[in-house]
Amino acid sequence: MLNAITKTGFSFPGQTNLYTGKVRDVYFVKDELLIMVTTDRISAFDVVLPRAIPYKGQVLNQIAAKFLDATEDIVKNWKIATPDPMVTVGRLCEPFKVEMVIRGYLSGHAWREYKAGKRTICGVPMPDGMKENDRFPEPIITPTTKASVGHDEDISREEILRQGLVSEEDYLKLEDYTRKLFQRGTEMAAKMGLILVDTKYEFGKDGDDIYLIDEIHTPDSSRYFYLDGYEARQAAGEAQKQLSKEFVREWLIAGGFQGKEGQQVPEMTDQFVNQVSERYIELYEKITGSEFERADISNVLSRVEQNISKFLAAYYR
């Protein structure tokens, strides 16, 4: 198997903290910079799976960087530099305690809720008579709480404001940014023959300013369908051809795993790991329109550490 980063343990000058997320290792430097290493870990149902996926971190980091650059006219973002294919360095912000999920189509979690008979999600009504993967009359915003540990939970706008998780003034801005970012992502996807089905955005504050943080429009945070044939597949009641992490979730569900207590992750064979890697690379090429250039991963940990150290030495020179 190819090398893949499952974890890091770097120590940089001025480092004050290290946060290990499901996929990213985040280094805090001098209380002003975040160094986000997008590892090759993969999670589903809020569980980190036992094997890492080669090139996945590079795919996610480079897609996110592209979309951060392409949307900075809508809202400022945290990115300062990408000193390595798997690394983004950016501004340290205070994250809001909610994630802004926006859905253009009835898919994934929303469909599972709908199929169970629910007609509202996060306080937002969903029309009767819809089929899986039908388009909503207009995109709906379905926020979640941002859990440090365990599962994120659906939450309504009213509950966010009642709990004081976000001020009303800021929340209205988050909704506005979310709709504009989704529209831009939808337009960019359509040019590449894709449909941006749903996605999530995270925001933070530095002083009085709101910044878009973390990743954007990657296959971990978003779901894409192929535009060609979408209508015909819907009319025929067929599954949509998609590029997202949903195929991993479906594989896990078929193997009897949905992240619930007592369930075991099915065996991740070399063949399956390679298949997942190729699917991530396929999405990169499809969404960016560029050929994926595989970085040298013969000693990937050393490469990442050296590139970050060079950046910091130059930044604080």
End-to-end CA distance of the chain: 39
Contacts 24+ apart (CB under 8 A), 297-302: 297/2, 297/3, 297/4, 297/54, 297/55, 298/3, 299/3, 300/3, 300/4, 300/5, 300/86, 301/5, 301/8
How far apart CA 162 and CA 114 sit, in angstroms, is 26
The C-alpha angle 310, 317, 208, rounded to 5 degrees, equals 95
Full domain range(s) for residue 285: 15-92+265-315
Q: Is 297 left (phi over 0), alpha (psi -120 to 50) or beta?
A: alpha
Please count the structural domains in the chain: 2
> What is the pLDDT, as a whole number, of residue 242?
83
> What is the pLDDT, as a whole number, of residue 92?
96
> What is the pLDDT, as a whole number, of residue 149?
59
> What is the pLDDT, as a whole number, of residue 147?
67
Q: What is the pTM assigned to this prediction?
A: 0.89
Residue 174 shares a structural domain with residue 211:
yes
Residue among 115, 111, 63, 142 nearest 240 (CA): 111
> What is the pLDDT, as a whole number, of residue 150?
59
> What is the pLDDT, as a whole number, of residue 283?
83
Residue 99 shares a structural domain with residue 239:
yes
Residue 110 shares a structural domain with residue 218:
yes
Altogether, the residues listed in the chain come to a count of: 317
> What is the pLDDT, as a whole number, of residue 57?
96
- Averaged over successive runs of 10 residues, the pLDDT of the chain (317 residues) comes to 84 96 94 96 92 95 96 98 98 96 96 97 97 98 81 91 97 98 97 96 97 92 94 97 83 94 94 92 91 94 97 95
How far apart CA 175 and CA 95 sit, in angstroms, is 15
Please report, for the domain that includes residue 30, its CATH number.
Answer: 3.30.200.20
